[in-house]
């Protein structure tokens, strides 16, 4: 018999669990969260300023996603190898790295494509992190391929046992690529389910194209349902809610060793990238301002203090940018380095 | 005069109105953006696709099968590589069905370096594409050629790959497209979308004429007696400028713009090499298994005893990517100086 | 809040709607159905015999799927162009072609790769049909790509209006490819839903690999649910049920101009292909024998008559095979034919 | 002696036991089939993947990132073309991360014509693969080389593409693999899975030894003074046989088995061409933008004044596919007679 699809809950209807008056996290954690969000925002704004003043060719990053990306970073078990979490990120994840404890200078150097850029040595765009010591695999420009690679690291972790998991992030538009389905298929093989936290940050845009103009899935998290996996759509603009929701998801994946598909609704505060101007959007919710309102109201952190923090980091990162500007670009001859591991770089056709 | 993006846009407008083009689509190709390089602004049949290159090529194939005339865009050729199987299929469908199903479809995609595109917005696609049978492949180096080749592409009964050198996208032509107003500002006012709200904008198309350039015909951009350079796309103007410079040194070089890579104008190459006895094949794709090597091999096999020096291939270094820093890009793909040096070296080579 | 996926109905639990005693179709239709199933079975058995006696290099086909494939063919609106149904089939569809009225000789010629093969001129494997006059697009060996192409023909049909639809078929294992998801995404774009009948014939095998060893989706039709499309899983071993279920699906797609995902459970009676021996399986349900039992019991067609029909077609096709064996192979020089439409075939490098 | 399928199987067994190989996987690679060519029968780490080439390559990349040592199979190279973006990514990950993430992974896949594979089981992959930086690519022509190269591939720190010439898969070697019993029947009894039920079967592995063949080293298969043939894979034995035949005509040809396509043994080519002055590059991939053209170009550029005749490339015709009928296949890819004729023509060529 034919089944008409049940009408799915529209994306906008999900209920954030902690818009209420109580703040269910301790003040210290809230302050850390807030300060890290401020750092992330200031860092991205510095990168944008660098782009606008000609110190970098292209900017892309995550301002507007801090309320989701900071809690994400707080929950990651960082370290090297399969006993630690693997991170398959896309290009909006600076706040997550800062929450994990990363220094901001690296992002600034990458923006300026200096040889000191710790992620790519001046080779790759801003926001394209890579840090082997923390299992942060290189961010790839091709959209969505990380959803195919994550199954490999998760397999190694499943086999090892323990509680380490693989985390993958990407955008809403990218879920139209086959790799998203690949991830769902491979992470839910019977008796071979994988410990993957599959995340989609839904900002309702793919560059200039509205999500609901080109995709008919109302809740992206529903894509996991036929695969028998646990799924949810959460509020990514509320750091407290995001933290608690992510915590539940992390715990499930760590202990059950099975996939969990989480869709987080987030804002895109400076447009897609520098290609679209990188100007502040006044129509999207700003998770940082909203959070500052609440912290102030609850006496966790006064507005003035929040403002001071913003100024402090803005100035600190301007200083780092000045420092990076003095650093050298990579030498042209280095293009031959690291073509192959364990071999000196050289032009194979020079003889 | 129009730049290449405007020329393509005008050609597509002409093709919508006169050549039966029914669908111009791809990521961000429709309103409001009209393509990341504005090639499709204001076109009446342009629409935004899901972020899925396989779907884009598959849809184009299906549309062509159903008698429509699609022009599909891959946003950057760097993102076409998950569709090579489909491109091969499009190229063999007529053959496999023993002549039943031809696919009149155009795929267009920006290629090459020169806009600081880093690892994933700098790829060339000519080597990979010329290895795929059943397609015709073009790559203009001027707006007028882009216009004329696009008209021919839209008249073709076979799949056509239209490669657009990114670096030349904003360079104004030296020749008027028939119908184009003489004044650049006026042209821009007519056909460029305004910044800001575009919802009420419609373009005012000039009265354009059919100026189709037959596929398979090269253009001798500069006549010369001592040395031939065969090139296309971004490196063509480098060759032309180098020839002008070297003329001052008493070296008389002929420069051929191949324009169509497949099927290419063998007669034009033969005529020139028989005259000069020295030939440089110049492109910027990586140099191992490179299309210039095909041309060099054929010239060597067929014209060996006419050659005064070995045919030379100058192409991109065989590195995994083009790095973001200027120093890296300059070391990876032929620059003005490299072209001049190669021409000089070839000119003086003696047994 | 987290949602655990609802436990999906196991694949084996679906209720065939007409295992009951009444036969809800008129006798004439039932006899046509049966005779076409017999023809299809005899044709495939002849192809297998040809393979086994060295008259053909490779066999693949659809014995075991006749109960589904014959009704499918009966419901197709055949003809050329977007006003008629488009068929994007895989390699098990001979029974559908016969039900549409195709002569069996073509399949036999293709098996023998003679130049008279109407589908590919001796170029392609058995079962790789192509018939432009009936919108049967070339069967491609690469699994699942037809799910990406079908969106194009359906788009043209949506635009045209009328009631023609696009039909795509493929196997269960192939749904792991991204193209299956591409089809779901593109056929369900809001306000741009496509008239596609998306069919998966689930025989629970991909060559040697059991479906439930590698995929965790219990009902493949559920993959359509998040996309808001109508879906069902049906019994493909019962031609009466299949006919009625397909009829409902066809009518929905024809009139609503929206997609419908149908999973049909079928048998694989001679293994995957000649590569796995092409021997009759005694453990799978044989839809033809089962149907003959029922027809006999209900007095629609006696067993003896069914047997006679089998003998008749077996002999007739043996005769056709004898005929094909006398036909010539294509000439080697014809490899150049149909590389490009509208151009005489020639070696582009011969000069 | 072992055939190539057995040799690969033994090498993989050795690699599982001694070189840390953790996963051998792909479509139908695990029990019961052990690969469509039996290359993976009885291996303890072999498993069946979903039918999804993108997942297979993605999983291999992830496994390699997590410290595992995967050997992934693409069932036929004809089906690798939807993963070219991933192969490129695997080849640039180390470079893009400035030396952080090397990917020790092997991909193996059968290539080429010779088994009447028709359009989609006859593809070559050497041209496409040698254009992808960051990989090493090998292609053995004997079982012993297959064994030795596979051991080296499994020791590599970089991605290795292992191309297996289908046509040679069942040809027995002329040299013993160290540890292999001298008697073929005995070997088969030890390591070939029985027909029928295999659930209780386990292989009896011989005591194998490390006989790794370094990557990048060619083998002079036949010494000669008048003409050099450089080949690999299916066409290598054709060259050897041709040289033996032509020796009877007084033509003394040298035959080089390249074995590793990238990085290839330039010194071996130089030494031979300096000696003979005449060289034929022989392979069966389609001849436009072909790897043989790269070799020919380099030889022409570097050894022009040593050449007595133009380097010749003999490769597959530039047609969209290899047709099923013998006549078509013979006309499409080099056959014994074509090789002899090309060698003869090259030997007598005079200015
Ligand atoms: C395979 C591929 N196709 C196209 C692009 C170009 N591109 C870069 S970002 C982007 C939009 C991505 O949207 P989404 O997945 O929603 O992520 P968001 O940027 O909104 O976070 C596109 C089309 C790409 N990088 N990779
Ligand atoms: C892209 C691709 N990968 C692999 C193959 C090899 N292959 C041919 S049929 C097949 C199994 C298909 O199984 P399924 O989709 O269930 O269809 P069935 O044959 O069972 O009808 C495989 C792996 C192929 N033809 N194409
Ligand atoms: Mg988005
Ligand atoms: Mg199946």
Residue A63 belongs to domain with CATH number: 3.40.50.970
Closest residue to atom 11 of ligand 2, CA basis: C206
Is D33 among the domain residues?
A: yes
pLDDT of residue A5: 41
pLDDT grade for C12, boundaries at 50, 70 and 90: very low
Q: Mutate one of D62, D67, D215 to test the A interface: name it (highest A CB count within 10 A).
A: D62
Give the 3-state secondary structure of residue C252.
helix
- Closest to C132 (Cβ–Cβ): which among B62, B70, B100? B100
Q: Are residues D32 and D87 in the same domain?
A: yes
Phi–psi pair at D285, nearest 5 degrees: -70, 160
* Residue C289: strand pairing partners: none
Q: Are residues B319 and B224 in the same domain?
A: yes
pLDDT of residue C23: 86
Question: CB pairs below 8 Å between C and D: how many?
Answer: 115
Q: What single-letter DSSP state applies at residue A132? A: G
Q: Are residues D17 and D162 in the same domain?
A: yes
> Ligand 4 centre from C69 Cα, in Å?
15
How many residues does this entry show for chain B? 351
Q: Are residues B246 and B117 in the same domain?
A: no
Closest residue to atom 21 of ligand 2, CA basis: C171
User: CA gyration radius for chain B?
Assistant: 20
Q: Are residues D95 and D134 in the same domain?
A: yes
Range of the domain at B331: 219-348
Is A344 among the domain residues?
A: no
Average predicted confidence (pLDDT) for chain A: 94
C196 touches chain B (CB under 8 A): no
Interface contact flag, A336 B319, Cβ < 8 Å: yes
**Across D27-41, average pLDDT:** 97
- Residue B247's CATH number: 3.40.50.920
Q: CA D171, D174, D175, D176 torsion: positive or negative?
A: positive
CA distance A9 to A6: 9
Is C11 among the domain residues?
A: no
Reported as a single tens digit per residue, the pLDDT across C68-96 is 999 999 999 999 999 999 999 999 999 99
Interface contact flag, B96 C340, Cβ < 8 Å: no
Nearest to A334 by CA among B331, B122, B286, B121: B331
My answer on whether omega of the bond before B263 falls inside 30° of 0, hence cis, is: yes
Q: Are residues B249 and B173 in the same domain?
A: no
Q: How far is C66 from chain D (nearest CA, A)?
A: 24
* Residue D281: strand pairing partners: D230, D313
Phi–psi pair at B53, nearest 5 degrees: -65, -35
Contacts of C332 (CB under 8 A, 6+ apart): D327, D328, D330, D331
**For residue B145, is it left (φ>0), alpha (ψ between -120 and 50) or beta?**
alpha
The yes-or-no verdict on residue B75 having pLDDT over 90 is yes
Reported as a single tens digit per residue, the pLDDT across B84-116 is 999 999 999 999 999 999 999 999 999 999 999
Q: What single-letter DSSP state applies at residue B227? A: E
CA distance C199 to D91: 37
Reported as a single tens digit per residue, the pLDDT across C32-75 is 999 999 999 999 999 999 999 999 999 999 999 999 999 999 99
Burial of A304 (0-12, 13-18, 19+ CB in 10 A): exposed
pLDDT grade for A20, boundaries at 50, 70 and 90: low
- Residue C264's CB is within 10 A of a number of other CB atoms, namely 29
Give the 3-state secondary structure of residue C342.
coil
Q: Are residues D187 and D230 in the same domain?
A: no
Q: Are residues D175 and D57 in the same domain?
A: yes
Closest residue to atom 7 of ligand 2, CA basis: C143
pLDDT of residue C292: 98
User: CA gyration radius for chain A?
Assistant: 20
Q: Are residues D263 and D163 in the same domain?
A: no
Query: Ligand 1 pocket, B286 CB below 6 A?
Result: no
ipTM: 0.97
Angle between helices B84-96 and B53-65 (to 10 degrees): 20
Q: What single-letter DSSP state applies at residue B250? A: T
pLDDT grade for D132, boundaries at 50, 70 and 90: very high
My answer on whether omega of the bond before D52 falls inside 30° of 0, hence cis, is: no
pLDDT of residue A19: 52
pLDDT of residue C296: 97
User: CA gyration radius for chain D?
Assistant: 20
Interface contact flag, B66 C178, Cβ < 8 Å: no
Give C319's Cβ-side CA count (13 Å radius): 6
Residue pair D318/B133 in contact by the 8 Å Cβ criterion: yes
Among residues D137, D171, D191, the one where a domain terminates is D191
Q: Which H or E element spans position B281?
A: strand B279-286
Contacts of A122 (CB under 8 A, 6+ apart): A109, A110, A113, A114, A115, A329, A330, B323, B324, B325, B327, B328
Is D198 among the domain residues?
A: no
* Residues whose beta carbon lies within 6 Å of some atom of ligand 2: C 92, 141-143, 170-174, 203, 205-207, 272; D 27, 51, 75, 79
* Residue A171: strand pairing partners: A201
CA distance D117 to D199: 30
Beta strand C205-206 with C209-210 is: antiparallel
Q: Mutate one of A228, A230, A246, A258 to test the C interface: name it (highest C CB count within 10 A).
A: A228
Measured at the alpha carbon of residue C203, what is the angle toward residues C201 and C208, in degrees to the nearest 5?
A: 130
Query: For residue C140, which residues of chain D lie inside 8 Å, CB to CB?
Result: 120
Residue pair B47/B18 in contact by the 8 Å Cβ criterion: no
Interface contact flag, C226 A227, Cβ < 8 Å: no
Q: What single-letter DSSP state applies at residue C234? A: E
pLDDT of residue C328: 98
pLDDT of residue C10: 44
The yes-or-no verdict on residue C19 having pLDDT over 80 is no
Give the 3-state secondary structure of residue B233.
coil
Angle between helices A178-187 and D53-65 (to 10 degrees): 70
Average predicted confidence (pLDDT) for chain B: 97
pLDDT of residue A22: 75
Phi–psi pair at B313, nearest 5 degrees: -110, 125
Is C342 among the domain residues?
A: no
Reported as a single tens digit per residue, the pLDDT across A145-192 is 999 999 999 999 999 999 999 999 999 999 999 999 999 999 999 999
What is the domain count for chain C? 1
List residues of B whose CB lies inside 8 A of any A CB.
27-28, 30, 32-33, 36, 48-55, 78-79, 82, 116, 118-121, 287-288, 317-321, 323-328, 330-332
- Residue B251's CB is within 10 A of a number of other CB atoms, namely 20
CA distance A338 to D99: 5
- Closest to A231 (Cβ–Cβ): which among C5, C17, C260? C5
The yes-or-no verdict on residue C9 having pLDDT over 60 is no
Ligand closest to CA C65: 2
- Residue B94's CATH number: 3.40.50.970
CA distance C304 to C308: 6
**Across B310-328, average pLDDT:** 98
CA distance D196 to D211: 34
Interface contact flag, D331 C332, Cβ < 8 Å: yes
Range of the domain at C269: 27-328
Concerning whether D121 is annotated as a catalytic residue, the answer is: yes
Query: For residue C130, which residues of chain D lie inside 8 Å, CB to CB?
Result: none
Residue pair D253/D131 in contact by the 8 Å Cβ criterion: no
Torsion of CA A190, A194, A197, A201, to 10 degrees: -60
Q: Are residues B286 and B166 in the same domain?
A: no
Calculate the alpha carbon distances from A146 to A215, B80, B87, D96 in Å. 21, 17, 24, 15
Contacts of C89 (CB under 8 A, 6+ apart): C96, C129, C136, C137, C139, C146, C167, C168, C169
Q: CA B79, B80, B84, B86 torsion: positive or negative?
A: positive
**Across D239-258, average pLDDT:** 98
CA distance C170 to C145: 10
**For residue D114, is it left (φ>0), alpha (ψ between -120 and 50) or beta?**
left
Q: Are residues B38 and B146 in the same domain?
A: yes
pLDDT grade for B249, boundaries at 50, 70 and 90: very high
Residue pair B156/C342 in contact by the 8 Å Cβ criterion: no
Beta strand C205-206 with B219-222 is: unpaired
The yes-or-no verdict on residue C11 having pLDDT over 50 is no
What is the domain count for chain B? 2
- Closest to A275 (Cβ–Cβ): which among B36, B320, B327? B36
Reported as a single tens digit per residue, the pLDDT across C221-268 is 999 999 999 999 999 999 999 999 999 999 999 999 999 999 999 999
CA distance C47 to C50: 5
* Residue A88: strand pairing partners: A168
Measured at the alpha carbon of residue B65, what is the angle toward residues B61 and B69, in degrees to the nearest 5?
A: 75
Burial of A332 (0-12, 13-18, 19+ CB in 10 A): middle
CA distance B109 to B126: 11
Residue pair C171/C91 in contact by the 8 Å Cβ criterion: no
**Across C278-293, average pLDDT:** 96
The yes-or-no verdict on residue A14 having pLDDT over 90 is no
Is D12 among the domain residues?
A: yes
CA distance A333 to A339: 13
**Across A256-270, average pLDDT:** 98
Is D69 among the domain residues?
A: yes
3-state secondary structure labels for all residues of C62-106: CCCCHHHHHHHHHHCCCCCCCCCCEEECCCCCHHHHHHHCCCCHH
Q: What single-letter DSSP state applies at residue C3? A: B
Q: CA C47, C53, C58, C60 torsion: positive or negative?
A: positive
Q: Are residues B51 and B180 in the same domain?
A: yes
Give the 3-state secondary structure of residue C199.
strand
pLDDT grade for C20, boundaries at 50, 70 and 90: low
CA distance B50 to B72: 12
Interface contact flag, C206 D118, Cβ < 8 Å: no
Is A231 among the domain residues?
A: yes
């Amino acid at each position: 018999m034919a089944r008409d699809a049940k009408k799915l809950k529209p994306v906008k209807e999900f209920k954030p669990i902690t818009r209420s008056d109580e703040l269910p996290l301790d003040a210290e954690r809230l302050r850390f969260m807030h300060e890290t969000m401020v750092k992330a925002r200031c860092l991205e704004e510095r990168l944008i300023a660098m782009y606008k003043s000609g110190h970098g060719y292209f900017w892309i990053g995550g301002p507007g996603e801090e309320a989701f990306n900071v809690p994400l970073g707080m929950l990651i078990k960082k370290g090297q190898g399969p006993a630690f979490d693997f991170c398959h990120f896309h290009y909006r994840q600076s706040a997550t790295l800062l929450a994990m404890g990363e220094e901001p200078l690296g992002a600034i150097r990458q923006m300026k494509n200096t040889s000191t850029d710790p992620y790519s040595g001046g080779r790759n765009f801003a926001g394209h992190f890579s840090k082997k010591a923390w299992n942060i695999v290189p961010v790839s420009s091709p959209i969505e391929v990380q959803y195919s690679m994550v199954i490999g690291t998760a397999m190694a972790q499943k086999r090892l046992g323990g509680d380490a998991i693989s985390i993958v992030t990407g955008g809403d538009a990218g879920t139209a690529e086959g790799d998203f389905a690949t991830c769902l298929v491979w992470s839910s093989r019977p008796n071979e389910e994988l410990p993957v936290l599959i995340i989609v940050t839904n900002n309702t845009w793919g560059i200039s194209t509205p999500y609901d103009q080109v995709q008919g899935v109302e809740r992206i998290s529903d894509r996991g349902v036929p695969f028998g996996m646990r799924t949810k759509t959460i509020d990514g603009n509320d750091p407290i809610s995001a933290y608690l929701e992510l915590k539940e998801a992390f715990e499930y994946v760590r202990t059950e060793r099975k996939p969990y598909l989480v869709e987080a609704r987030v804002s895109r505060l400076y447009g897609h990238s520098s290609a679209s101007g990188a100007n502040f959007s006044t129509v999207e919710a700003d998770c940082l301002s909203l959070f500052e309102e609440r912290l102030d109201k609850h006496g966790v952190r006064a507005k003035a203090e929040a403002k001071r923090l913003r100024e402090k980091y803005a100035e600190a990162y301007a200083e780092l940018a000045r420092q990076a500007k003095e650093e050298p670009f990579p030498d042209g001859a280095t293009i031959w380095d690291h073509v192959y591991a364990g071999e000196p770089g050289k032009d194979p056709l020079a003889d | 005069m129009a730049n290449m993006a405007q020329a393509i846009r005008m050609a597509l407008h002409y093709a919508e109105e006169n050549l039966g083009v029914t669908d111009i689509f791809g990521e961000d190709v429709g309103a409001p953006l009209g393509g990341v390089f504005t090639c499709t602004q204001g076109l009446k049949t342009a629409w935004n696709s899901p972020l899925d290159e396989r779907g884009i090529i598959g849809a184009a194939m299906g549309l062509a099968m159903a008698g429509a005339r699609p022009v599909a865009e891959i946003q950057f050729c760097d993102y076409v590589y998950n569709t090579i199987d489909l491109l091969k299929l499009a190229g063999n469908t007529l053959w496999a069905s023993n002549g039943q199903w031809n696919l009149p479809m155009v795929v267009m995609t920006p290629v090459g370096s020169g806009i600081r595109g880093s690892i994933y917005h700098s790829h060339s696609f000519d080597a990979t594409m010329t290895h795929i049978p059943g397609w015709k492949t073009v790559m203009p180096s001027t707006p007028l050629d882009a216009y004329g080749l696009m008209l021919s592409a839209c008249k073709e009964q076979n799949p056509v790959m239209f490669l657009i050198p990114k670096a030349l996208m904003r360079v104004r032509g030296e020749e008027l497209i028939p119908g184009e107003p003489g004044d650049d500002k006026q042209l821009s006012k007519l056909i460029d979308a305004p910044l800001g709200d575009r919802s009420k904008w419609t373009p005012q198309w000039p009265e354009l004429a059919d100026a189709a350039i037959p596929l398979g015909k090269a253009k001798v951009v500069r006549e010369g007696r001592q040395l031939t350079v065969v090139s296309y796309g971004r490196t063509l103007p480098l060759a032309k400028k180098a020839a002008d410079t070297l003329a001052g040194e008493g070296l008389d070089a002929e420069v051929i713009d191949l324009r169509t890579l497949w099927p290419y104008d063998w007669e034009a190459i033969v005529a020139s090499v028989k005259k000069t006895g020295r030939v440089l094949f110049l492109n910027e794709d990586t140099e191992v298994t490179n299309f210039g090597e095909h041309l060099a091999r054929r010239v060597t096999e067929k014209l060996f005893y006419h050659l005064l020096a070995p045919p030379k291939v100058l192409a991109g270094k065989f590195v995994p990517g083009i790095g973001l820093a200027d120093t890296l890009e300059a070391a990876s793909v032929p620059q003005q100086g490299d072209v001049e040096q190669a021409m000089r070296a070839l000119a003086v080579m003696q047994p």
